[in-house]
Amino acid sequence: MERDTMVRTNGMSRMNRASGTGGTGGADRAVDGPEAGMATAEYAVATIGAVGLAGLLIAILKSDMVRGLLEGIITSALSVV
């Protein structure tokens, strides 16, 4: 048994023809059960990791040793010109 279903993706509509056994292929249906919201949780963990890494980089770049190193590199680069 086949049925036509209207699928709305990113504001655009398209027709899907799905058999009674196959469904819509999985890409257009919401995830139910224990995996619902997993992508959101993964994005949240990645964002927290990125913020932590950015904080660490800022702390390292603000140190006097790194500041002196960068000033030395810039001074030597400008003295060549």
The one-character DSSP state at 29 is S
Q: What pLDDT sits at residue 43?
A: 93
Confidence class for position 36, pLDDT limits 50, 70, 90: confident
The domains of the chain are located at 2-80
Look at residue 14 and tell me whether its pLDDT is greater than 60. no
Cβ(60)–Cβ(42) below 8 Å: no
Look at residue 56 and tell me whether its pLDDT is greater than 60. yes
Cβ(19)–Cβ(2) below 8 Å: yes
**What does pTM read for this prediction?**
0.45
Look at residue 52 and tell me whether its pLDDT is greater than 90. yes
Query: What average pLDDT does the segment 18-26 reach?
Result: 53
Query: What average pLDDT does the segment 51-79 reach?
Result: 93
